[in-house]
A and B are shown apart, each in its own frame.
Chain A
Amino acid sequence: MNALYIICGLGIASLVAEIVNLKKWLVVLITIGIATAAAVATLDWNTTNSYFNDMVVIDNISIAFTVLICLSAVLWFWLSHDYFKDETHITDQSALVLFALVGAIILTCFNNMSMLFLGIEILSISLYVLAGSKKDSIFSTEAAFKYFLMGSFATGFLLMGIALIYGATGTFDLIKISQFTADHHSTLPGFFFAGVLLVMVGMAFKVSAVPFHFWAPDVYQGSPLAITAFMSTIVKIAAFSAFLRLFLNCFSVVQNTWLFTLQAIAISTMIVSSITAVYQSNIKRLLAYSSVGHAGYVLLALVTGSSDANGVIFYYLFTYSVASLLAFTVLTQLEKSDSDISLTDLKGLFKSSPILAVGFTIALLSMAGIPPLAGFIGKYLVLNLALSVGYIGFVIVAIITSLVGVYYYFKLIISMFQDSPDAKQQSISISTRLLIYVLVGLVLLAGILPNVFQVI
């Protein structure tokens, strides 16, 4: 809970920093603050506390996800402080990001439908603004508008679901809902199940699972690159931790009503995203489809319904977010003018700046699931979990789609190592170099010593 207060305070402090002219030290202050918040969150490890009349319950799972979000946020600020260096309103940007983080942390620890709603909205409203933060770019505007429209449309479904569940059970409290459904399983009205499915549709929009993914590639492509990095890592982690809380804890009693639908969503997410990604030539779009595909693997772990799924999903999201932060760090160095990096821009990258090429290669290999990198262990754990509950068909589909994934990731890698006549030497700042080393180190470390990171 204190982590939440600290990050709220940082958000307000960064608004005040505009007035008192602290801009220079702002990023340092924020980074230290978020690291402190993560450290404070770990103090409650192995205890379960509830706050605000059980509106918020903090247990090991929520602490683990909070720390993961804080870690990604620190790395994100490191990545973005070069990117937003020339912006005049850096304080507004960072305040919005910090408030989005508050929403993300609420999503890891809510125990009440109203906190779920508030968390999602705090996260989303900040992001609508951030997605449109390049005011003159028509792409950024379009991305912001599409994100806003799809986001509030999804919120409508989520709220309708919450209202129907409230109508059937008479409470918003997750623990009471699961108790009520266990006690009155046979007499639940039909609209309760409609409510559960509507909540699922709303959440599937937020994690961009097929068939509710169509906004993601557009938004990822149009938004400023650093914001895309934020959306594909921190927002994904938060949305999935909310998904876990709802469907593994609260609705597990009525599993037979939603399990089939979620299985279909997981399978189609894996298949559709890998097929579409093959045809992309824009790299941001390709990464968007790859992130949709990763959502498919996380959902596969989720539909096993096993209690081990929490730990597996945590590890998977950790590996995914580190690898994609690495990929986006490299892309921010490559981006020149208006929001488009295509496959041909990568040609000759290895010659012009080997460190970027090697960093990007490691990120892509990890996402493709090549041993000994972190992504391999993540995929292995998911498939192992699915096998342990007997989902053989699902595992075969997952393996085929990740082979297709290897194809489109290698397409990028090969073009980086091709020769290009106009390859120029590129200068990279020390802090970016250091960030690439840290991220590569994390990818390797999590791949070689996976036990260290499997905390739940």
Chain B
Amino acid sequence: MKTAQGIPLDYYIWLSAALFAIGVLGVLYRRNAIIIFMCIELMLNAVNLLLVAFSNYYSDASGQVFVFFIMAVAAAEVAVGLAILIMMYRNTKTTDINILNKLKW
């Protein structure tokens, strides 16, 4: 049986698949922009968990280095995203994404 830290590797895969699915569903169903940001973070963290588990299983550090890349880039992305959100709030006075329907068809 493949294990990482004594726990079967499959458990990690199912856990992060579940977290990832929760994140995807959150992005698709929630209407508040900030909660959508949080759901995207959840998707990225599911990936981080999976990478760390695999990295431990292979005793290979590159997976954990990749996690650092993801963390740094996610921080940059959220910084830009929140700035865009503030810009949107200034123009529309709301964070509800249903207001974003000026561009269609």
Say yes or no: is A143 at the interface (Cβ < 8 Å to chain B). yes
Report Cα–Cα, A280/B103, bound state, in Å: 13
Are B27 and A153 neighbours in the complex by a CB distance under 8 Å? yes
Which residues, 16 to 66 on B, are CB-close (under 8 Å) to A? 16, 20, 23-24, 27, 33, 36, 40, 43-44, 46-47, 50-51, 53-54, 57-58, 60, 62-63, 65-66
Q: How large is the interface on A (under 10, 10 to 19, 20 to 34, 35 or more residues)?
A: 35 or more
CB distance from B20 to the nearest CB of A (A): 6
Are B66 and A160 neighbours in the complex by a CB distance under 8 Å? no
List residues of chain B with CB within 8 A of the CB of A221.
103
List residues of chain B with CB within 8 A of the CB of A343.
none
Which residues, 69 to 85 on B, are CB-close (under 8 Å) to A? 69-70, 73, 76-77, 80-81, 83-85
Which residues, 112 to 165 on A, are CB-close (under 8 Å) to B? 113-114, 117-118, 121, 125, 128-129, 132, 135-136, 138-139, 141-146, 148-149, 152-153, 155-156, 159-160, 162-164
Report Cα–Cα, A274/B66, bound state, in Å: 40
Between B47, B69, B100, B103, the greatest number of chain A beta carbons within 10 A of the residue's beta carbon is seen for B103
Report Cα–Cα, A129/B86, bound state, in Å: 13
Report Cα–Cα, A401/B27, bound state, in Å: 33
Asked whether A153 and B87 contact (CB < 8 A) given A129-B80, A160-B46, the answer is no
Report Cα–Cα, A285/B87, bound state, in Å: 24
Asked whether A163 and B102 contact (CB < 8 A) given A135-B87, A138-B91, A172-B62, the answer is no
CB distance from B26 to the nearest CB of A (A): 11
List residues of chain B with CB within 8 A of the CB of A121.
73, 76-77
Are B87 and A117 neighbours in the complex by a CB distance under 8 Å? no
Contact with B along A188-219 (1 / 0, CB 8 A): 00010000000000000000000000000110
Set A114, A135, A156, A222: member contacting B103, Cβ < 8 A: A222
Are A132 and B91 neighbours in the complex by a CB distance under 8 Å? no
Report Cα–Cα, A145/B50, bound state, in Å: 29
List residues of chain B with CB within 8 A of the CB of A441.
none
Are B47 and A156 neighbours in the complex by a CB distance under 8 Å? yes
What is the predominant secondary structure among interface residues of chain A facing chain B? Answer: helix
Say yes or no: is A167 at the interface (Cβ < 8 Å to chain B). yes
CB distance from A338 to the nearest CB of B (A): 11
Are B54 and A136 neighbours in the complex by a CB distance under 8 Å? no
Are B36 and A149 neighbours in the complex by a CB distance under 8 Å? yes
Are A132 and B92 neighbours in the complex by a CB distance under 8 Å? no
List residues of chain B with CB within 8 A of the CB of A222.
102-103
Are A128 and B88 neighbours in the complex by a CB distance under 8 Å? no
Asked whether A159 and B70 contact (CB < 8 A) given A121-B77, A125-B76, A218-B104, the answer is yes
Report Cα–Cα, A121/B69, bound state, in Å: 11
Set B13, B63, B88: member contacting A141, Cβ < 8 A: B88
List residues of chain B with CB within 8 A of the CB of A371.
none
Set A125, A153, A163: member contacting B80, Cβ < 8 A: A125
Are A152 and B92 neighbours in the complex by a CB distance under 8 Å? no
Asked whether A142 and B103 contact (CB < 8 A) given A114-B66, A132-B87, A160-B20, the answer is yes
List residues of chain A with CB within 8 A of the CB of B46.
160
Are B43 and A143 neighbours in the complex by a CB distance under 8 Å? no
List residues of chain B with CB within 8 A of the CB of A163.
16, 47, 50-51, 54
Q: Given A142-B100, A148-B77, 10 other A-B contacts at CB below 8 A?
A: A113-B66, A118-B69, A125-B80, A135-B87, A145-B100, A156-B47, A160-B50, A166-B66, A191-B13, A218-B103
Q: What residues make up the interface of B, taking CB atoms closer than 8 Å to A? A: 9, 13, 16, 20, 23-24, 27, 33, 36, 40, 43-44, 46-47, 50-51, 53-54, 57-58, 60, 62-63, 65-66, 69-70, 73, 76-77, 80-81, 83-85, 87-88, 91-92, 97, 100, 102-105
Listed A/B pairs (14) with beta-carbon separation below 8 Å: A114-B65, A118-B69, A121-B73, A141-B84, A145-B33, A145-B85, A149-B40, A153-B43, A156-B47, A167-B54, A167-B57, A170-B60, A222-B103, A285-B105
